Amino acid sequence: MKKRVIFLNHGMTIYASMCGIAGAAGKDSEASVQRMLEAIKHRGPDGTSMFSLGDITMGNVLLKITGDRSQPIHNSGALTYNGEIYNFREIAKKRNLRTDSDSEVLFDMIDSIGIEAVLGEVDGDYAFAFASDGIIQLARDPAGVKPLYYGKSEELFAFASEKKALSAIGITEISSLKPGHLLTYCDGRLIEKKVTGFVRRERITDENLASDALFNAIEQGVKKRIYSPCTIAFSGGLDSSLIAALCPEAELYSVGMAGSHDIIQTKKAALLLGMENKLHLQELTVDDVVTALPDVIRAIESAKPQKVSIAMPLFFASKNAHDDGHRVMLSGQGADELFAGYKRYESLGPDELENALFCDLDNIAKNNLERDDAASMANAVELRVPYLDREVVELALSIAPELKIKNGIRKHILRLAARKSLPDELAFKEKKATQYSSGIYSAIEKLARKNGFKGEHAAGRYLESIKESL
């Protein structure tokens, strides 16, 4: 059977922590993967490599974070991997492996115990593909922090970290692998099943017990994800302020239209945290928005006004962090879905609230995480989400809904936990939706009118016109 390793960045050492993966099985798979990697090269500026095994080709573009093992890793099988396994050192010690590469540990585990058993042991955010004996298996973490898409044509099965990579080789029907699922491709057939997820533990109704346990879990979730030097996507609200308090060495990156709520709030919050010298604040002009719209729409592959206006602050924050030499950014994503942060939750009874939160968590990858990953990785910055740490999520699922909204206060239990590190002015700060608090949604609406789009859905039609011109 033919085996070929191709390093497209000749002479460069390849490192672990992949941030863009792609692969294909079928006719001319090598050429197809090369085109896919070119489409997502922004995800990994440190190198590109491929490995072919028969008619299967695997590849990646690399953003060096940790480790020094080249990828795709291959022996009798081949692995290409995007993400971070936070307990890989403990696993390596248990397995008597001497390595600083989470991908090497992952490969060794798959080779010896199989993917399903592996997913029960690893703690992390990941999307990976493993090929062996003509079979490709794709896996994604339980929350869906790392994206993975796949599709088929008459002659090819392919997968990649972004939809645009599949579009680049003519695949039009593209699916997103569901969080916690394993997809197996063999002889033209696809089998997808859920293999890992979050466990609902014993109910916690005691407020003090819940807030203490929650603070400790979030603190550990942040510690796992800290990378030096580290940055935070900072809005000055409860979620990002708590992360900042737990990671005081981080640099804070904030973005908003001049005079917007976020500009005022981030300055105030940074001052209250004693981190005003860490704040990197960009006040956007209308011209900045106009210039960035094509890049943001291209990155997230959507022209929906709400998605674009939420993605744009993160796009600018990660771009500024990248320009300052940073590669990792922490985000407060997930806190609203776990602790009832949205206004629409207020009218729900306890059972309805619990069901709504579980449903929103189940859909957070499709609704939020894939957009955020695309926005930050457009600038080669890896986004990490402490609130979606397995321990935090499972603890949150066990906390009684009556503790999440209490006396009309949303995220009540998270606010109590946050008081251990935050002043009350921040712990009890009312939430404002990002697209409105940044002023960007309003700016897009004004631009739509200025460009002759009127009536209902004017902003959407304006953004769609930009998308069509790309």
Catalytic positions, please? Answer: 19
CA distance 406 to 416: 11
Alpha-carbon Rg for the chain in angstroms: 22
Phi, psi of 7 (to 5 degrees): -105, 110
Half-sphere exposure of 382 (CA within 13 A, CB side): 27
Query: Can you give the three-state secondary structure of 57-89, one letter per residue?
Result: EEEEEECCCCCCCCCCEECCCEEEEEEEECCHH
Per DSSP, the three-state class of 271 is: helix
Count the Cβ atoms, other than its own, within 10 Å of residue 116.
Answer: 14
Is the C-alpha dihedral spanning 372, 283, 444, 336 positive or negative? positive
CA distance 464 to 439: 20
Provide the total of helices (H) and of strands (E) in the chain, helices listed first. Answer: 20, 20
CA distance 361 to 363: 5
Where would I find the beta strands (DSSP E) of 242-377?
251-257, 279-284, 328-330
Helix locations, 131-255, DSSP H: 163-167, 207-225, 238-246
The distance between the two most distant Cα atoms of the chain, rounded to a whole number of Å, is 67
Amino acid, res. 371: R
Q: For residues 319, 324, 325 and 328, what is the CA-based torsion angle, rounded to 10 degrees?
A: -50
Q: How far apart are the first and last CA of the chain?
A: 42
Query: Can you give the three-state secondary structure of 10-22, one letter per residue?
Result: CCCCCCCCEEEEE
